[in-house]
Amino acid sequence: MSEPTELSPDHKPTEPQHRRKRGAGKGSRKALYGLLAVSLAGAVVSGALLLKPTPGEVPMESLVQSQVQQAVVPLEEALARVASQQAALEQRLAELDQRLERAEQREQENAAAITAAQAQLEQRDPLEPRLAELGKALSHLDSELNLRVTAQNEQIQTLEERLEQSQQAASRPAPARQAPRPAAPPSPSFQVTGVESRGGRPYVGISPNGLSSLRDVHLLGVGDRQDGWELTRIRGTHAVFSRHGRSVDVQIP
């Protein structure tokens, strides 16, 4: 980086090169027009001096002055036109200078923006490895998720097949079931041997099962109990015994 140049106290900022050229061109044109006017005036004076005045003619000085004025008028008009054109050119150059300054300012702003963008890119560079790691992690998660989804789809398909089989089995008519046979009612642990009447009351004779000896025969009246069985009623040739709320009708031989 170059060191700044030290400026003296009497130093004045130099004008841009295009402005210096414009000022130099203006001075050279004025000098040229002046030389042309002087040359033309000299030529007129020289021609007038060569002519000899005749009696009765206009004096030489007046003639020279008139000719000089006639020659100078077109030059002045030309100078006026040139000055007008020069003013227009100077105005155009001023506009161009302003455009150039704005272009230079925009160029500086663009350069600053480019520098800032480069700085941001340099700051983003350390993030690239992290972004690469995140990309790998996302890819791994995506693969694992696809595997899980595939397994779940297979499970769902298996369940659907089982459900369909269950529905088909349910739609089939069920085989006719045989009605359960009614359980045989409990019977007393003794047998009725007969009926007889004593004192106007009927009694039934009972003996343990498998015994037929008269010594084993007992008489039961209505309301009597034997082995938990209560004789509740004697009806013709039937005796009704009850136990735990269940009744059994036993035929009397």
Nearest to 96 by CA among 12, 13, 22: 22
Q: How confident is the model at residue 191 (pLDDT cuts 50, 70, 90)?
A: confident
The pLDDT score that the predictor gives to residue 2 is: 44
Q: Is the pLDDT of residue 9 over 50?
A: no
Domain boundaries, the chain: 18-51+58-121, 126-169, 190-251
Q: Is the pLDDT of residue 3 over 50?
A: no
DSSP run (H or E) holding 194: strand 190-198
pLDDT tens digits, one per residue of 30-73: 666 666 666 665 655 555 555 445 555 556 667 667 777 777 78
What percent of the chain stands above pLDDT 90?
A: 11
| Single-letter residue type at 135 | G
Nearest to 69 by CA among 41, 34, 38, 31: 41
Q: Sign of torsion, CA 91 93 96 102?
A: negative
CATH of domain 190-251: 2.30.30
The pLDDT score that the predictor gives to residue 176 is: 59
Q: What global pTM score does this model have?
A: 0.29
